[in-house]
Chain A
């Protein structure tokens, strides 16, 4: 397994030497979630792999990873990217740069440029291990109906593959990233009996038992027992279901005997701890720093796959920014990747750059797995960049004009209320989220978005800055009132915070070609590469989903005798509205970081970028892997599905191509 003495890191000179000898079978752009898994799997299949990663390699070394943890602990604003220093050569976005967009005025003070009409609230990470260094770790599968939105509900599009096609790869992904969950609970919200029967292979178990439910989860589960919620004339049970998590829990002894594990000839599942100290992180310790960075690596990140990749087969070159995909005009195949290596980690001083071209051996394959936004951007800026007169169909792999389009996220709707005085919910204990109230599947999806409501263990943390805002409110109540001090302050603070109930709803969004990533001549980064320019809006389907989600939150609060305190204001960043019975009603959404759809897969080269093998329609030896391939988003956090797609692609390449 790992040893970083003899790791997979390579120097530009070593790589250039190997390229000159036609050494590599596969070159992958991006050492993130998908790229790490692809490299490991292809290496296992005896393929020689090069990964070009734009970001730094800091996280690979123990002291580097720890420096991120320290930086996060010291950060005043604990945003998803707060552990990761600015890197002008491979810049990334920050949630701190988002604000409400005035018509016609682009917000361009960060890395991403927002054209509106709505701000795009999600970010990603450009580092070795990619956005797996800031994800929450939520890992549920998509539901079968998500793959057939058009067929079943007349909305969106169908995937070119079915749930059943992906099912075996979900098992691979759940092993690789280590998922703790309960099979029975995952079936509860699937409506169609046939879907339910085929959701898991018979005898399947998750590698680890579900992360224990918090006091709040159990309390709410009890209160909602037997209660239901009506949508579009049909009743659905209100239930509290454990959220699958890539966070180490108790290994499930039954996993060893599941048919999947037996086929793989593996024994008991042993949770994989930290890559730098395998004894750490074999169980979640409840540090609650899951987003962005687990100090003990009990949460999966791409380093775990990179460290277990075969160092004889896999080379990783970091600080290597791919700027162009070269296409041979005769064969229409990729002939190489132009990349720039920067030698300084922090400065962008000119003269520190070296330019190279990476090529595979003849008959090799190129995979871009650089994240939904960066992959789309790289395709758009390659060849004849898709700007100005070439905006339509410019770039590479873009004959469909679908590259960058159909950008989706889960708009995240917060609701919050107070339960009766004297109730102690156990707020601020355990991981940020351990359970949810799902409304993921059902006939209502022809009318509005499906959604799932995170039961937030942090009370009004996200919703209202609790508990700090409560401290302030008690110390400086205003209106000439006296501050609450001393032991009374402590008592009051505890009582107040323990009554805070808050939900965060991930709302489904439909593919809309007008929601897109673009490039513009005037927006470049310090390396001269284009910056992503984003146009994003919220459709009525999602806003109606928000309406239903808010109604569900109200119903739950009613069941538990609580009072709603949710306020959405027109001045909020992310405020959207529609009309309900002729009355204007607004909702405020946040980003979920679930960025998908920008190079979708399909059955038709006219309206999709890749086929069901994740091969581009336009260039035979070019594959795209990652969340950008999703034709629709459903209600699942996308990383597990992206990992499954990576397994599927590796399988295809090993068996059919290389």
Chain B
């Protein structure tokens, strides 16, 4: 993938490139969320767990929608490649052109902690329409998707319906996604393409500057009315719930949000398999976990390239990664740090 994205999408080929980067962006946020989530032992920090879990599920939905967007215009999503996942810690794909001090999307693998929440808050920071904004390469995820949206409009002007020439058989249909609040749908025309982009952008970031996406927060956890991700992470970070009347630029003022930062597995940040002696039992587990992860990427790749039913195979590996990750987080590292091993999310396909 190119180090720096162009400032404008000039062709359908460019659009496909941007979408492939979008696929990587959405996927790259998941391992950091999972590390925070799995570092919380069962039964502790329930509210926080719930929040992170919800966000992970929505990121997965975004991946499927981006894959549908790519397939709709006859592209080929690539997931099963050593160049697909990022090497943590790292900027998100497509944002590595930004100077380090302006880098909003530097993400790493960390246990559930205030530092991890700071990262999540940066990823989910709402951005507002800025019509007079600069025309350089995208500086926020919002701008990045704005370019994609514009790219669709331009390409559609040129090609009309023939832009959506991809086979419908390659689309992921609703029955394959569950456990989140949104729904996967097929992308077959401009309308569904725009809907998919809206879904991705809206869920991630507050779209209108309000804390709650609806009128009231009284029905939260019933599935409909929940604050946007940013605010949910801010609740964890500040230890307070938002309540009705709270403004988006003020900290939450509701009841105490119960958080225990000490009730977690003390995972050392950004673990790598190579940090452990070859042939040691921990290394073996690290390798296994990486291989499960790679197998999962393979299943995703396969299901985005004509075999959607293979997503079911992927589900098995998603559970497997959880078991392996939690097992690793219980193994003390061989030093005096008092920290533990953890999942590395490295591409590892044994030959």
Chain A interface (Cβ < 8 Å from any Cβ of B): 1-3, 5, 66, 70, 212, 250-253, 268, 271, 273, 276-280, 282-283, 285
Contacts and interface: CB of A to CB of B under 8 A. Distances in A.
Contacts of A282: 178-179
Given A250-B176, A251-B175, 7 more contacts: A3-B222, A250-B175, A271-B178, A279-B54, A279-B223, A283-B178, A283-B179
* Interface range, B side: 20 to 34
Contact of B174 (A5, A268, A285): A268
B337 interface: no
Interface string B181-199: 1000000000000000000
Contacts of B54: 279
11 contacts: A70-B43, A212-B312, A250-B175, A250-B176, A251-B174, A253-B175, A273-B178, A279-B180, A280-B179, A282-B178, A283-B179
Contact of A277 (B218, B219, B221, B315): B221
Contact of A1 (B43, B176, B218, B222): B222
A268 B186 CA distance: 15
A2 B223 CA distance: 10
B246 to A, nearest CB: 19
A66 B46 CA distance: 12
Contact of A279 (B175, B176, B179): B179
Interface in B95-130: none
A3 B175 contact: no
Nearest to B309: A250
A171 B123 CA distance: 47
Interface string B207-227: 000000000001101110000
B218 A278 contact: no
B165 interface: no
A279 B181 contact: yes
A540 B280 CA distance: 63
B221 to A, nearest CB: 7
Contacts of B43: 66, 70
Contacts of B178: 271, 273, 282-283
B222 A279 contact: no
B261 interface: no
Nearest to B176: A250
- Give the one of A1, A271, A277 with max B CB within 10 A: A277
A268 B177 CA distance: 14
Contacts of A280: 179
B319 interface: yes
B317 to A, nearest CB: 14
Q: 4 tightest A-B contacts by CB?
A: A282-B178, A278-B223, A250-B175, A251-B175
Nearest to B316: A286
Contacts of A70: 43
B163 interface: no
A652 B312 CA distance: 43
A285 B319 contact: yes
Given A279-B54, A279-B57, A2 B222 contact: yes
Interface string B40-52: 0001000000100
A277 B221 CA distance: 7
Contacts of B175: 250-253
B186 to A, nearest CB: 12
B173 interface: yes
A277 B175 CA distance: 19
A294 to B, nearest CB: 15
Contacts of A3: 219, 222
Contacts of A252: 175
Contacts of A66: 43
Contacts of B173: 253
A278 B222 CA distance: 7
Nearest to A249: B175
A206 B219 CA distance: 32
Contacts of B218: 5
B174, B175, B180, B223 interface centre (most CB from chain A within 10 Å): B175
